[in-house]
Chain A
Amino acid sequence: MVEFMKRALELASEALAAQEVPVGCVFTINENIVAESRNSVNITHNPTRHAEMNCIDTVLDYCKENNIDYANYFRNIDVYVTVEPCIMCAAALNILKVNQVIYGCPNDRFGGYTVLDVRKFYEPHYMLSGNLCADEAMALLKQFYKGVNPNAPESKAKKKPL
């Protein structure tokens, strides 16, 4: 488990280096990585391109290319993500009925558990656990928010609290 989170943290560092909010994510099936990605909101100008959404698209592409029923495929997926999935990603992962979600640090601003427990809207919903390598995940976030989101207009970037 820890090894997957370590990999997700590497991806988060990659995001930081690319001036993106440092969140990384790894999808596994039976302890094998099937998708990995990181936040890419600024480069795509699409605020929904969170690490989880990128991984989802990777899996969907893979399923399409290989004629695999994605609905079944997702049910076996475990999600390792450095920061608690936001409300949007939490909803997406529940729509896809992934098996479980393991996160690093909580997400006080957008968290799909901390701010609003999205699981209550979906039945069945994934298993959720947190606090795996939370300090490392949080340290990356802190580093990012010390700087400024380069793509946000001046006035908005300044408002970003941690």
Chain B
Amino acid sequence: MSSELEPPEKKPKITGNNDLCIETIDKCIENITSSEKNLQPIINDEFHMPIQLVKVYVGHIRSAKDISRTILILNERIPLKELSHLKRVRCQCIILCPTTFLHNMSSIQEYIEIHALELKDVFDYFKEINVPLLPPKIVSQYNETKKIWPCNFHPNTYFEKLVSDHFFSSYEVKLHRQFMGVVFEIAKWYVMHRGTSSVVGGIFENVNVTVVVNPINNRIVTISYDYRHNHPMQHSAMLAIDNVAKTQNGGVWSTDYDNNLLPGLEQELIDYLKEKFSHFGIGMKKSKTDVQEEKSVNDLHGEGCGAKTDLHGEDCGHKTVVHGETKEKDGPYLCTGYYIYMLREPCVMCAMGLVHARAKRIFYCFNNSDTGALNSVVKLQTVASLNHHFEVFSGFL
């Protein structure tokens, strides 16, 4: 496990200095909560990669009047499923097939004669050219792609938003930054009261903190602090998942500080947070006043945060989008719909735990270069075969 505790950047170590630690944390809190910089979605590399090319044969048509007939025949006899984003023709050049289709055949002429004999005299010459391998996902890729070869493109507003610098509204940015501030306040509390931390070049070591928020009402559902030194599986995200289970009458890990409101947390910390963040609801239990507050908050910010659940619309491919309606009926299920705020990028185990828990969005501050599974060693949110994909955001500092 020790490898996971390494800080992202190896800088001279300053240990056992709580004052410095707290100073650093305070500076982070100041920067995080005062900045208005939008957060960065952490997305598939495909969005940023240069256009990938594939080599194909094109044939030049002798007579322009044969173009449409030729395309019809080719689409039937030599369909190009993988390249269906490309238009088959440019001027009088028609894409015949990727060069890999030829296998043992000696020439493209022979290939045409075998697959579409009636086209054997249609072309006056052939050549090999490179064309874009993948369909463009975003406008900027489309513009690059069509310079190389004409192609089809269906703009996707969610994708455009992902690559823009304004994924969140300024109200949302503020809110997310405040919750990240809570994460740091918890880290600070533990440093002050438990003195277990060290800070290296402003990057936290031996510490991770998780705050789980229900975005429907902006209540903090649970909080957890890393306990891995005593129990190698009790990374803060795993503890948070168990704490959420406790709010649903489940959970397995016993802690010294069980209480109804926030399982696993010391009352002293809860009081500290309640004093500091009186504007956030903390804990699952709702009093009547909380419900009313919530109502008025929603009225106030109807646009800002209320719109959050349907931001991405259908086209983002997320299956857990619609909540508001069904939620009441079903009751909370695992971390479905919840936002997870973490100090550091979760490791492979924790990130997959959060997939199992069906968390909706993960926000974290520092990369974890050794085992971080949302950006550093892998981006679990982009692994297509998994049955749940959360969105990931960073860029707080």
Interface set of A (CB-CB < 8 Å, partner B): 40, 43-49, 53, 56-57, 60, 70-71, 86-92, 95-96, 108-110, 115-116, 118, 121-122, 151-156, 159-161
Contact = CB atoms under 8 A, between A and B. Distances in A.
Contacts of B385: 108-109, 115
- Please list the 8 inter-chain residue pairs (A to B) with the smallest Cβ-Cβ separation, ordered nearest first: A45-B250, A88-B352, A91-B349, A47-B356, A153-B330, A91-B348, A46-B245, A87-B352
Contact of B4 (A88, A95, A108): A95
Interface of B: 1, 3-4, 231-233, 238, 241-242, 245, 248-252, 319, 326, 330, 333-334, 336, 347-350, 352-353, 355-358, 371, 377-378, 380, 383, 385-387
A153 B241 contact: no
A160 B386 CA distance: 11
A87 B202 CA distance: 31
Contacts of A95: 1, 4, 232-233, 347, 349
B252 A88 contact: no
Contacts of B352: 86-88, 91, 110
Contact of A116 (B252, B319, B349, B378): B378
Nearest to A53: B233
Given A88-B353, A110-B386, A46 B250 contact: yes
B347 A91 contact: yes
Given A88-B356, A91-B349, A44 B252 contact: yes
Given A109-B387, A152-B333, 12 more contacts: A45-B249, A46-B242, A46-B251, A47-B356, A49-B252, A87-B352, A88-B353, A88-B355, A109-B385, A122-B3, A156-B333, A159-B387
Given A60-B231, A110-B386, A48 B356 contact: yes
Given A44-B251, A48-B357, A91-B348, A115 B383 contact: yes
Given A44-B252, A45-B334, A47-B356, A60 B371 contact: no
Nearest to B329: A153
B8 to A, nearest CB: 15
Contact of B245 (A45, A90, A159): A45
Contact of B241 (A48, A71, A91): A48
Given A92-B233, A92-B349, A159-B319, A45 B4 contact: no
B378 A121 contact: yes
A155 B336 CA distance: 12
Contacts of A40: 252
A154 B330 contact: yes
Contacts of B355: 87-88, 110
A156 to B, nearest CB: 7
11 contacts: A44-B245, A47-B241, A47-B353, A53-B233, A86-B356, A87-B380, A88-B350, A96-B232, A110-B352, A115-B386, A154-B330
A22 B57 CA distance: 52
Given A45-B334, A60-B231, A70-B232, A116 B383 contact: yes
Nearest to B237: A48
Contacts of B348: 87-88, 90-91, 118, 121
A102 B116 CA distance: 52
Contacts of A159: 319, 387
Contacts of B336: 156
B241 A46 contact: yes
Contacts of A155: 326
A89 B386 CA distance: 15
A161 B387 CA distance: 9
A160 B302 CA distance: 34
A86 B233 CA distance: 15
Nearest to B333: A153
Contacts of B4: 95
